[in-house]
Structure 1
Amino acid sequence: MKSVKQLLAELRDAANGAPRIYVPGGPAEPACVADALRETPDLADGTTFVGHWLPGINRTAWTDFHPNASAEGTFLYSEYRTAFEEGRYRLCPIHYSEAYEWLKSVPLDAAFIPVSAPNEQGDVSLSLGTDMSPALADRRYIRRIAVVRPDMPFPASAPRLPLSDFTDVLEDTAPLITLTDPPLSDESKAIAAHVATLLDEGFTIQSGIGSVQQIAMAAAAHHRNIRIHTGMITDATMEALNAGSIAPEPGTILTGTAIGTPPLYTTAGKDARFNFQPVSVTHSVPVLAAIPRLAAINGGVEVDLFGQLNSEWVKGRQVASTGGLGNFVRGAQLSEGGRSIIALPATARGGSLSRIVVQLASPTVTLSRAEAGYVVTEYGVADLTTADIDQRAERLIAISAPDFRDELANQWAKLRASL
């Protein structure tokens, strides 16, 4: 078995010093590759790293290993801010479904693919790396390197491949990345209670990343026979399981990856309800549209009185990207009895800033007003599905923080007179 440094050196030589390498994000990010580059930074000289690294979870900035290294990805967050400003990070602001398709054809010389330890038949599971790895499965002309993670689960329902299909095999003994959900605040509990009024027994739930996942699962705990179809799950799913909210049939928790603590990973490998599928399934609008009563529950930075959402910009700087939000919202809107729900606190910065605003200040709009569904804060629910422009403003002001309502109403009256 070759060392990581040997493989990286071979890749540089074969690509004349400018290799393009896929490095995955998620809980099984290859720590062994990062360690090798920290020890020998010249191995990153001229290298372009390609990946879908998740904000708040993947902290490695692959561009930091060498000033001549660059990266391409679909999210932008603080670790890549410097490289982005220097022009060494290429941001692709596309839907997650398109990011998967992009990975099928983007020029690559090699790909590190996390897998479980092999079973008795010599097969490995893509497991926690199922979201993106299958896009590389048929790219036989690139060097596909299996990164065996001994603590990665081997779920009953997840893509598996013969270990012999890989060009090279590495073992990464670093522990999987873990994520511990903080306790739900009183504010979030109130939001979850309002979201629960929009659900019912037998709904299928999608939830975004961050605190909205906890809100969604807390809302699910009010009901029974809930199914999950989402891109990522956290420990909050365990709470819904323990509450008896999740339907008992196999495959009722369909996801692309799981990021949490070891008990979640262990359960994902043993409980037949866990079903790992690639982004081509989890984020497919036709697949989502065919699910009856799909509730897409997502967050955002701010919503304006037209119903437009910004989930990417803070203080005029891009801090995130579109991700799968657009896929799930459109799927839920096409689902029979489906609902798109944006759940967010009414304020930010300790209550000094309203997240319900008259007009977005962000340079781009994440969701247009035509895609507005329900907006939920701790103060209630605003149904924007068929509301006209005046009803939208009225309903959104009603769920804003009380200290901001008069100001919002006055600003809206001035804006409305100019429309």
Structure 2
Amino acid sequence: MDGREYSLIEKRLKYHRVMIMAKDLYWADSYVTKLKKADEAIRLIRGGQRVFIGSVCGEPQHLVRALVENAGRLNGVEIVRMLSAESAPLSAIANKTKDASLNIRNIYLGATISESLAHNRRFITPMNMSDVPMLFKSRKMPINVALIQVSPPDDFGWMSLGVSVDVTMAAAQSADYVIAQINNKMPRVMGHSFIHVNDVDSIVEYNEDLLVIGEQPRSDVASQIGKNISRLIEDGSTLQVGLDAASQATVQALINKNDLGLHSQYLTQDVMHLYSKGVINNRRKGFNDGKLVASAAVGTENLYEFLHDNPGIEFYPSDYVNDPFIIGRHNRMVTMNVARRIDLTGQVTAEASAGTLFAGISGIPDFVRGARRSPGGRSIIFLPSTKSDGTESNIVPTLDNAPVVVSRGDVHWVATEYGIANLFGKSIQERVMAMITIAHPDFRDELLSSAKEQGMIGKERGLGEAVRAVYP
């Protein structure tokens, strides 16, 4: 390369550096030109477009309300979102207009047994959480407009997606047009949670309370399950925790553990409490040491305040947090997820509930598989042995028409209030006997008879003393 060619390249590089600096220096001017009212921004959506809405507690409620108000002029718009409680009647509009105005695509892997979910079963797109970002970024499902909620920009024009990085980051990065609601109440969360003012197209300033869930009522059954599971968790373990009351009861049962870490889809109130007491310190994770790592948060205003500018917390998108290979790099990774029902061979179905804003199910298989890759890792599936009224067993001969969320080959540890069963490496007959011994005593004879009828165990088999056992 001669001096003239080098000089030309140097001039071009200098020009690009100047342009980049100018872009960063004048983001504030760009901010002003992008300011719009919600109605004005939403009116830019055209018929036939696909619109993504930010997830769970990060939902831009003000923008969604404006979308609903404009639904009458829209035709063939598809709403894409992770399944969550609706702050505005999107599904009702879709049902009323027979999908002509709005059509809904709820990404969700779980069962739809309950009436609230079964009513809109046709809207479900079953996917693993870790695969969703690739769906958007590869343009296999192009996003035309992304509605997101962010914190106010810092001095350099960076805004945080706050409590909902998960799949929202991928949607914002791949969308043709991004409308951002800037909310002073959105915490600024560290990690890979930031989007620049220059990378959004319309800005709507509107402050409102974020969606929250309070303390869920915990039963004696949930507390006993938590005590049983706590025996499987060693000091120095890294945890993934579900959103349900039983998961949080398990977290509470870990108060006497030491040097725990967290790598989880969601960060919750009870995790915050264990962190504040030093039980969780992330020192022995073996990967991302010293950091609470998650992709979203669900809780109260106290939790969101805890997240704000906290250098000990990092949020990443779901294709990182839910990647089984990333999960497997942690020491003693223990995943704890609740099932709706489990059959006698170990097949699991799980279902979201209103108490968790219908979140927290689609990532279960990712963490189950990731824990198996971890040195000393354990995957634990747990459930109460019966429905809340005690009339039906949650351990059943077969799942019938319920979807399998975790296959029996992936299930290792199963816990109820009556004990723990390890299914790894066991035959069908051994699995059946193990599952019956942790079922509710009132249903063990019935389960044994069904298993014999279906040829899952020998007809000469009996439970003996195990039929009356209560363990521990």
- TM superposition score normalised by structure 1: 0.89
**Structure 1: which amino acid aligns with 2:127?**
I
The equivalences for 1:148-159 within 5 A come to 148-159=182-193
Q: What is the alpha-carbon distance in structure 1 between the residues aligned to residue 160 and residue 456 of structure 2?
A: 60
Name the residue aligned to 1:339.
378
Name the residue aligned to 2:167.
132
Distance change >3 Å, CA 45–CA 396, structure 1 → 2: same
Distance change >3 Å, CA 417–CA 266, structure 1 → 2: closer
State whether residues 28 and 149 of structure 1, in contact with CA within 8 Å, keep that contact through their aligned partners in structure 2.
no
State whether residues 335 and 368 of structure 2, in contact with CA within 8 Å, keep that contact through their aligned partners in structure 1.
yes
Distance change >3 Å, CA 192–CA 239, structure 1 → 2: same
Q: CA deviation at 1:248?
A: 5.8
Q: What is the alpha-carbon distance in structure 2 between the residues aligned to residue 181 and residue 166 of structure 1?
A: 35
Distance change >3 Å, CA 183–CA 80, structure 1 → 2: closer
Q: What is the alpha-carbon distance in structure 2 between the residues aligned to residue 269 and residue 191 of structure 1?
A: 33
**Structure 1: which amino acid aligns with 2:191?**
S
Q: What is the alpha-carbon distance in structure 2 between the residues aligned to residue 129 and residue 313 of structure 1?
A: 18
Q: String of CA shifts for 1:66-97, please: whole Å, max 9, x gaps.
A: 61210112128666655545xxx3x2211111
- The answer to whether structure 1 residue 307 and structure 2 residue 342 are counterparts is no
- The answer to whether structure 1 residue 328 and structure 2 residue 348 are counterparts is no
Q: CA deviation at 1:158?
A: 4.1
Distance change >3 Å, CA 121–CA 347, structure 1 → 2: same
Name the residue aligned to 1:202.
236
Name the residue aligned to 1:27.
57
Q: CA deviation at 1:8?
A: 2.1
**Structure 2: which amino acid aligns with 1:407?**
E
State whether residues 268 and 274 of structure 1, in contact with CA within 8 Å, keep that contact through their aligned partners in structure 2.
yes
Q: String of CA shifts for 1:350-402, please: whole Å, max 9, x gaps.
A: 11111111222234322221111111011111111122222211211111111
Q: What is the alpha-carbon distance in structure 2 between the residues aligned to residue 263 and residue 162 of structure 1?
A: 27
Name the residue aligned to 1:39.
69
Q: String of CA shifts for 1:302-340, please: whole Å, max 9, x gaps.
A: 1111111111499xxxx9996111111111112111111
Name the residue aligned to 1:112.
147
State whether residues 349 and 403 of structure 2, in contact with CA within 8 Å, keep that contact through their aligned partners in structure 1.
yes
**Structure 1: which amino acid aligns with 2:163?**
L
State whether residues 226 and 247 of structure 2, in contact with CA within 8 Å, keep that contact through their aligned partners in structure 1.
no
State whether residues 126 and 158 of structure 1, in contact with CA within 8 Å, keep that contact through their aligned partners in structure 2.
no
SS at match of 1:7: helix
SS at match of 1:128: coil
Name the residue aligned to 1:403.
442
Q: What is the alpha-carbon distance in structure 2 between the residues aligned to residue 116 and residue 417 of structure 1?
A: 56
Q: CA deviation at 1:43?
A: 4.0
Q: CA deviation at 1:33?
A: 2.0
Name the residue aligned to 2:248.
214
Q: What is the alpha-carbon distance in structure 1 between the residues aligned to residue 253 and residue 316 of structure 2?
A: 24
Q: What is the alpha-carbon distance in structure 2 between the residues aligned to residue 320 and residue 4 of structure 1?
A: 26
State whether residues 59 and 148 of structure 2, in contact with CA within 8 Å, keep that contact through their aligned partners in structure 1.
no
SS at match of 1:202: coil
Q: What is the alpha-carbon distance in structure 2 between the residues aligned to residue 132 and residue 256 of structure 1?
A: 9
State whether residues 212 and 297 of structure 1, in contact with CA within 8 Å, keep that contact through their aligned partners in structure 2.
no
**Structure 1: which amino acid aligns with 2:238?**
T
Q: What is the alpha-carbon distance in structure 2 between the residues aligned to residue 321 and residue 361 of structure 1?
A: 23
State whether residues 93 and 322 of structure 1, in contact with CA within 8 Å, keep that contact through their aligned partners in structure 2.
no
Unaligned runs of 5+ in 2: 1-34, 284-288, 459-472
SS at match of 1:27: helix
- The answer to whether structure 1 residue 178 and structure 2 residue 217 are counterparts is no
Distance change >3 Å, CA 72–CA 368, structure 1 → 2: same
Distance change >3 Å, CA 212–CA 418, structure 1 → 2: closer
- The answer to whether structure 1 residue 169 and structure 2 residue 203 are counterparts is yes
Distance change >3 Å, CA 144–CA 92, structure 1 → 2: same
Unaligned runs of 5+ in 1: none
Alignment coverage as a number of residue pairs: 404
**Structure 1: which amino acid aligns with 2:196?**
P
Q: What is the alpha-carbon distance in structure 2 between the residues aligned to residue 101 and residue 133 of structure 1?
A: 12
Q: CA deviation at 1:155?
A: 2.4
Name the residue aligned to 2:222.
188
Name the residue aligned to 1:101.
134
Q: What is the alpha-carbon distance in structure 2 between the residues aligned to residue 409 and residue 145 of structure 1?
A: 57
The equivalences for 1:40-55 within 5 A come to 40-54=70-84
Distance change >3 Å, CA 189–CA 50, structure 1 → 2: same
**Structure 1: which amino acid aligns with 2:394?**
R
SS at match of 1:102: helix
State whether residues 131 and 319 of structure 2, in contact with CA within 8 Å, keep that contact through their aligned partners in structure 1.
no
State whether residues 42 and 70 of structure 2, in contact with CA within 8 Å, keep that contact through their aligned partners in structure 1.
no
C-alpha RMSD of the superposition: 2.5
Distance change >3 Å, CA 352–CA 189, structure 1 → 2: same
Q: What is the alpha-carbon distance in structure 1 between the residues aligned to residue 253 and residue 317 of structure 2?
A: 26
Q: CA deviation at 1:133?
A: 2.3
Q: CA deviation at 1:214?
A: 0.5
Distance change >3 Å, CA 59–CA 342, structure 1 → 2: farther
Q: String of CA shifts for 1:143-163, please: whole Å, max 9, x gaps.
A: 112221210111233422322
